[in-house]
Chain A
Amino acid sequence: KNEVEQSPQNLTAQEGEFITINCSYSVGISALHWLQQHPGGGIVSLFMLSSGKKKHGRLIATINIQEKHSSLHITASHPRDSAVYICAVQPFGNEKLTFGTGTRLTIIP
């Protein structure tokens, strides 16, 4: 079993829909990261969380440390949100990240 599990693996939605991507992990962590990768593109950090909730524009990330679970929400989704979203965790006392396999999001106009 992977230390970081994301769901769903693939998600297709219509423009304007509310999107939720989930991430579960099995180890104690110092921080959790949400990353975005556009097709053929580089990797960009969206959020880094150690507790609670963060918001940036239409993106919201939440984390429940007790349940070892995080969600990434996109409100009023747009075709430019189409990308792979990657969850990564930083285990306690470790400078290395452990990555999920990503969620491929496609937003249809």
Chain B
Amino acid sequence: AQSVSQHNHHVILSEAASLELGCNYSYGGTVNLFWYVQYPGQHLQLLLKYFSGDPLVKGIKGFEAEFIKSKFSFNLRKPSVQWSDTAEYFCAVNARMDSSYKLIFGSGTRLLVRP
């Protein structure tokens, strides 16, 4: 069955530290990849997405992610985190299943950035 794995469930960093959150998926067909973020008390919102082309995609607030097809990975990075990046981050894959396209989510990573 198709799945999305996020390896880090909880991450604690100090401000200005670099961030990398892992995401791997299992699906051999065409996919689109997303990172969503949920700040405390707010909606899930899209951070960035990959459809095709340049495998390095840039999103809002200085985040970027790299799609490595051979590794089935789509890791999220930020060179220098801020306290305001404290949130839960979800990796998601949009893959063709049966006759529809489902959005499959990873289990999420809670990031705490200490000032």
Verify that A and B bind, or say they do not: no
- Give the A-binding residues of B (Cβ under 8 A): none
Chain A interface (Cβ < 8 Å from any Cβ of B): none
